[in-house]
Structure 1
Amino acid sequence: MAKSLLIVCRQAPWSGPGAREALDIALAGGAFDLPIAMLFLDDGVFQLQPAQKAASLQQKDLTANLQALALFGVESLYASSRSLEERGLSATALSPTAENLDDAALTALIAQHDQVITL
């Protein structure tokens, strides 16, 4: 049985290559039917904000990659409730939809995965 993988995204989509690399890992792993989940923490929750204007920052928009996750079997998406609140983001406006977790649930989520990658 394949080991479960949790990818923790901590970077905003425009702050460097980390956000894109996390999505690339998830899509590649999903293509091979690996059990993958993604957790968006800190500025990583900005990746779930719809209608980003990446072109104005001379960046490539990650929205299509995020929407493709489900097509590759990556359907377990989580966001830190605290990170959303600290950044003034509404949990109901996320795209794609992610399950919001408090700190205790985050700890449990991390513990239940065999491998964790943080970007």
Structure 2
Amino acid sequence: MSDKKKVLIINRRAPYGRSNARDSLDVALTCGVFEMPISLLFADDGIFQLLGGHQAKEIGQKNLSANLAALPMYDIDQLFVCESSLNTHGLASDQLDHNPTVVDQKAIQQLIQSHDVVLTF
């Protein structure tokens, strides 16, 4: 049995305007380097991180798409998106990049309980 802690990173912030989104992806990639089991949950405004076509240069920011695209190279393929957040923002899962699994509140609770470490950004 692995002694590595399972880490869940919850992304609640929009992709730009603050460093939360970039920080969460940096943490995920760093944990991936150490082969820790990582899952990412996108909720609230964090779901906007999964929308394609960001025009980050227009606001003087670096696009997060490259960081998100790198996740599979670090064996990070457990991506989840909150169903109620999708509904709140009028989005459907097929509008999102990276094929996240849509989860309801009960599944989110189970997800949190099944991880050793939960970080929220």
Q: Please give the TM-score of this superposition, normalised by the length of structure 1.
A: 0.97
User: Is contact 1:31-1:73 (8 Å) kept?
Assistant: no
**CA–CA distance in structure 2, aligned partners of residues 85 and 53 of structure 1:** 24
Q: Tell me by how many angstroms 1:15 deviates.
A: 2.5
1:19 counterpart = 2:21 = yes
Which of 66, 70, 85 in structure 2 is aligned with 1:64?
66
**CA–CA distance in structure 2, aligned partners of residues 85 and 68 of structure 1:** 28
Which secondary structure does the structure 1 equivalent of 2:40 belong to? strand
Which secondary structure does the structure 1 equivalent of 2:41 belong to? strand
**CA–CA distance in structure 2, aligned partners of residues 64 and 88 of structure 1:** 25
Q: Note the aligned Cα RMSD (angstroms).
A: 0.7
| Long gaps (5+) in structure 1 | none
1:80 counterpart = 2:82 = yes
**CA–CA distance in structure 1, aligned partners of residues 92 and 17 of structure 2:** 21
**CA–CA distance in structure 1, aligned partners of residues 113 and 120 of structure 2:** 14
Which secondary structure does the structure 2 equivalent of 1:85 belong to? helix
Q: Please give the TM-score of this superposition, normalised by the length of structure 2.
A: 0.95
Identity across the alignment (%)? 39
List 4+ stretches of structure 1 deviating above 6 A.
none
Which of 44, 47, 52 in structure 2 is aligned with 1:45?
47
User: Is contact 1:29-1:36 (8 Å) kept?
Assistant: yes
Q: Residue type matched to 1:104 in 2? A: K
| Long gaps (5+) in structure 2 | none
How many residues matched? 119
**CA–CA distance in structure 2, aligned partners of residues 112 and 69 of structure 1:** 21
